[in-house]
Amino acid sequence: MSVTLPVFAIERHRLTTDGQGVTTLVGAYGCPLRCRYCLNPHAWNPSTLKVCKDMTPQQLYERVKIDNLYFLATGGGVTFGGGESLLHARFITSFRQICGRGWHLAAETSLHVPTQNLEQVLEVLDEFIVDIKDMDETVYETYTGQPQGILKENLRLLAASVSPDQVRIRIPRIPSYNTDDNVQRSVEQMKEMGFTELETFTYILPK
């Protein structure tokens, strides 16, 4: 039986925000976290989800291949987002088998997924864009509603398995939840683990 992806958004022609080159962002339903400032609550709250279509890897390929020439010319491709993209590791693996190695495949992830999901895509994805929230356990749990252990385990696995230039770590300053010192400590921990592509920024809250 073919695995399907519950897709709620397909956005074409994105530049630099979701991976290299021209990118198509594919948003899929489902997330184990409940971040207080989540910008995509419809990714985990079905009552706010207006459109969600289950697609097979072949159906998604047929839909996004219209940009094949852009992908090949710019080194771009498809970025899986959400929600939590790595909940759908089997789908991503099947999609790679269909699209081949020519497209750059990336995932936006919190890494808050079972370790076997990450293992499945280590050789399938070209880039991991990881929003770690904060490395302080109390801050993390207060902000996401979940304990942090699985994130640390998966960061260790990622650091040991792929090249540092395949991982972009995003470290947010989260108003009312962490401090500049927290952010700095998270940066230091990421450097100690061997990650080099680090991006700090401040969450901008909706008014």
- Residue among 62, 103, 102 at smallest CA distance from 80: 103
Stretch that binds ligand SF4, among 20-28, 39-47, 163-171, 180-188 (CB under 6 A): 39-47
Residue 10, classed as helix, strand or coil, is strand
Closest to ligand SF4 by CB, 38 vs 157, is: 38
Four-residue CA torsion sign, 26, 6, 122, 162: positive
Residues in contact with 3: Cβ distance below 8 Å, sequence separation at least 6, in sequence order: 56, 57, 88, 90, 91, 94
Closest to ligand SF4 by CB, 99 vs 106, is: 106
**Rounded distance between C-alpha atoms, residue 117 and residue 115, angstroms:** 5
Nearest distance in Å: CB 84, ligand SF4: 6
Tell me which of 82, 103, 134, 183 binds ligand SF4, using CB under 6 A: 82
Residue 34 touches ligand SF4, criterion: CB under 6 A:
yes
Residue 113 touches ligand SF4, criterion: CB under 6 A:
no
Residue 151 touches ligand SF4, criterion: CB under 6 A:
no
Residue 135 touches ligand SF4, criterion: CB under 6 A:
no
Reported as half-sphere exposure (CB side, CA atoms, 13 A), residue 101 has a value of 1
Residue 31 touches ligand SF4, criterion: CB under 6 A:
yes
**Residues forming the site for ligand SF4 (CB under 6 A):** 31, 33-35, 38, 40, 43-44, 82-84, 110
